Chains A and B, each alone.
Chain A
Amino acid sequence: EVQLLESGGTLVQPGGSLRLSCAASGFTFSTYVMNWVRQAPGKGLEWVSLISGSGGSTHYADSVKGRFTISRDNTRNTLYLQMNSLRAEDTAVYYCAKTSGGGSYAYFDYWGQGTLVTVSS
């Protein structure tokens, strides 16, 4: 059974940093592109970032480019999101999501339960 378990969400001050983790199990982690998707309170889904199976390729939404860094440890089956220079508008539930398929065929077939990040003084 595929499981994705996020952790690390908490209250942080504007300008602060935080690292989120997503522990994966039930599939060959290193084979799949992984993503972070966030959802601000009462708002819609916003894709944040993706990373290839090897970790050699990453992409980011313009809203987080230069501030967030996605990475993975395939030996620990864990996905990370390092978030720096946090802003109030980064407040959201952050989901990790597994990608199925490749290229434009891809979709998110499994999602974690999410972890809440609150940026406030």
Chain B
Amino acid sequence: SFELTQPPSVSVSPGQTASITCSGDKLGNKYACWYQQKPGQSPVVVIYQDSKRPSGIPERFSGSNSGNTATLTISGTQTMDEADYYCQAWDSSTVLFGGGTKLTVL
């Protein structure tokens, strides 16, 4: 069955670039999106259809998807970006989430 794999944790210093990967068999043939979830809050979409940013999401968030890997990139990471991040894709008519990546900014 189709699965999405994310690293459990990523650390980055403030102002640096953070990259979070999401791997799945031929994921590049599907659309990937990314959600940010802060403690005690509901998820918020930050990237959809591989690389599109919803209104209100800062330009420092970007995405790409090719081959077997989708990547969420946060340029000039800020402390407010510390959160859990989940990738998501569709497989037939069902939805899959990656296991989530805890981004630590320190």
A9 in contact (CB, < 8 A): no
Q: How many residues of B contact A (CB 8 A)?
A: 25
B94 touches A59 (CB 8 A): yes
Range of interface residues on chain A? 20 to 34
Q: Which residues of A contact B33 (CB under 8 A)?
A: 107
Query: Given that A95-B42, A112-B42 are contacting pairs, would A47 and B49 also be in contact in the complex, using a CB cutoff of 8 Å?
Result: no
* Nearest CB on B from A98, distance (A): 11
What's the Cα separation between A46 and B4 when bound, in Å?
12
Interface string of A92-121 (1 = CB under 8 A from B): 000100001101111111011110000000
B31 touches A44 (CB 8 A): no
What's the Cα separation between A95 and B44 when bound, in Å?
12
A44 touches B42 (CB 8 A): no
What's the Cα separation between A35 and B97 when bound, in Å?
13
When the two chains form the complex, which single residue of B37, B45, B90, B99 contacts A109, counting CB atoms closer than 8 Å?
B45
Interface set of A (CB-CB < 8 Å, partner B): 35, 37, 44-47, 50, 59, 61, 95, 100-101, 103-109, 111-114
Q: Which 4 A-B pairs have the closest CB atoms?
A: A47-B95, A107-B48, A44-B100, A111-B42
